[in-house]
Amino acid sequence: MSNEPSTTTPRTISANASAHARFWWHAAAGRGYEPDLYRVLSDAEREVLLAWYDDTLERKLVGEMAVPMASAVLGFVNGSGVRRIVQLGHFAGYSCLMLGWALRRMGAERGLFSIDINDKYTASTQEWLGRAGLEAHVGLHTSDSAAPECVAAARAYLGGDPACVLIDSSHQYAHTLAELELWYGALAPGGLMFLHDASPMAAKYDRSGEGGVRRALDEWLARAGAPAAITLLGPEAHGQEGPYADPSGLCLIQKPWES
């Protein structure tokens, strides 16, 4: 499978996006262009992603990160050559595909270790990784992403401490707090941690009703010695304009370098 950028006019993600709410970014006014995270895909990669969209829409597996967060994460990974990434919550596999292709373009094998508690999601994602030719670049693990044994499993797969951790799993307050405690300690010095659904609006995704990612972040960052963090907040609703266009929000934390 070629991973060279397209030289012809390929089918685009935007042109094939349906009216479903998951495509809110593509449907917004003034967005009649293909974002760069899709423009770099080869024709073969794009066809796999389009098939993935069709399949997951039919199976009602919708919940992947949208273009603003995916663009931010992929920009950091590609721009700095990040080769040891842990993802908490792969769900239907969108980010495994996008990060896996980025790692393949970088020539980085065993670069992403992704954990999900649902074995059916893991099995489905593994099938898509096979179709995408990414088995050498992405490893999957079925477990509770807040379980301490996952750290050792990730280090063994990646060959060292993760340089980047992406938290996008349960979105529940207590579980997110446990993930922050566990994985911040596992990060390499200078490492980055991204948290999806970090806005006050996204607290509604916490099925326990306890405040979600936002409350977990507020409490964890208020502790003595906590690192600095930046939270990007979007507009009030999907499809509205904003410098960061996703209402679900994104928090970025960097672990200090050792002195």
Confidence of residue 10 (pLDDT cuts 50, 70, 90): low
Instruction: Write down the pLDDT at residue 32.
Output: 80
Give the lowest-confidence range in 4-13, 129-138, 155-164: 4-13
Tell me the per-residue pLDDT of 35-63, one tens digit each, with 9 for 90 and over.
999 999 999 999 999 999 999 999 999 99
Asked if residue 52 belongs to a domain, the reply is: no
Number of CB atoms found within 10 A of residue 157's CB: 19
Instruction: Write down the pLDDT at residue 93.
Output: 98
Tell me the per-residue pLDDT of 17-26, one tens digit each, with 9 for 90 and over.
788 899 999 8
Asked if residue 159 belongs to a domain, the reply is: yes
CATH number at residue 119: 3.40.50.150
Asked if residue 199 belongs to a domain, the reply is: yes
Asked if residue 17 belongs to a domain, the reply is: no
Question: Is a pLDDT exceeding 80 seen at residue 4?
Answer: no
Tell me the per-residue pLDDT of 81-93, one tens digit each, with 9 for 90 and over.
999 999 999 999 9
Instruction: Write down the pLDDT at residue 168.
Output: 97
**Is residue 92 a contact partner of residue 51, using CB atoms and an 8 Å limit?**
no
**What share of the chain has pLDDT > 70, as a percent?**
96
Confidence of residue 5 (pLDDT cuts 50, 70, 90): very low
Calpha distance 197→69 (Å, rounded): 10
**Is residue 1 a contact partner of residue 105, using CB atoms and an 8 Å limit?**
no
**Is residue 223 a contact partner of residue 253, using CB atoms and an 8 Å limit?**
no
pTM of the model: 0.93
Instruction: Write down the pLDDT at residue 45.
Output: 97
Asked if residue 8 belongs to a domain, the reply is: no
Confidence of residue 6 (pLDDT cuts 50, 70, 90): very low
Tokens at residue 195, please? 């948290």
Asked if residue 161 belongs to a domain, the reply is: yes
On average, the pLDDT of the chain sits at 93
Instruction: Write down the pLDDT at residue 258.
Output: 81
Asked if residue 117 belongs to a domain, the reply is: yes
Asked if residue 53 belongs to a domain, the reply is: no
Domain region containing 215: 64-254
**What share of the chain has pLDDT > 90, as a percent?**
84
For the chain, the domain total comes to 1
